[in-house]
Amino acid sequence: MAQDDPRTLVSTEWLAAHMRDPDLRILDGSCYMPGSGRDAKAEYHAGHIPGARFFDIDDISDSRSDLPHMAPPIEKFASRMRAMGVGDGHQVVVYDGSGQFSAARVWWLFKLMGQKDVAVLDGGLPKWVAEGREIEDLPPMVRDRHITVRRQAHLVKDVTQVSAACKLRDYEIIDARSPGRFRGEEEEPRAGLRAGHIPGSKNVHYSSLLNDDQTMKSPKETRAIFEAAGVDLGKPVITTCGSGVTAAILSLALERMGKDDHSLYDGSWTEWGMSPTLPVATGDDDV
């Protein structure tokens, strides 16, 4: 079992013990891949951890962008959190319906907005349910709460910054997609994207950092996985994936390892793969 840390990852046991804390806020941050056949919001309404609010990753995003669920402007984030009753002085715990897929993205968004007391529920809703713990279908009682937002620009990278890092090799770029997608051997789930990866990037599939029950492996184990993939942990890191969701699982693992010089490429492969002017490597090429 992972060591509980209210700023990164907490166990189902920890959450059960703190359920009645007045300043605890639980968020269902479920989001699924296109074509999965799952409806995150409908599943939330059918049953969720008591008191949980639904954090809609697609809605709480930058509506001005053509890319999926890009980080929202600070004003929109603050407005949505106030309306959800999430604000200053709260300990936030985020889970998702896959166990560990999109909750880390919500964790990263809170960090981007300057919030520190936020953690992912290790193993998520599946582990909670498997242990016979309570779920409900009642909407939570919500009161507006002020939230102070200070955007931490160093935690996010745009395409220009990633392109420079690709050329200079002064960052380690780590891709959380499957090996088949990374090598360009599998089709992308979104139409119109080229196959392959950012030249010079390393592949650490997010699932390799998880146990069979979707709990996260220990910091010692995840460090060994990054190193086995050829990642130089002495360099700052940029995490990436298909659309900026599972990249946050890598970010969470790095944070738990004590490595805090990491940022996330928000546009990820959805942006890079659609641009005909950006270089793409395939197979095991490192060009």
Residues that are catalytic: 241
Give the whole-angstrom CA distance, residue 2 versus residue 21: 21
For tokens 């900026």, what's the residue? 244
In order of 39, 44, 103, the CA distances from 135 in angstroms are: 18, 10, 18
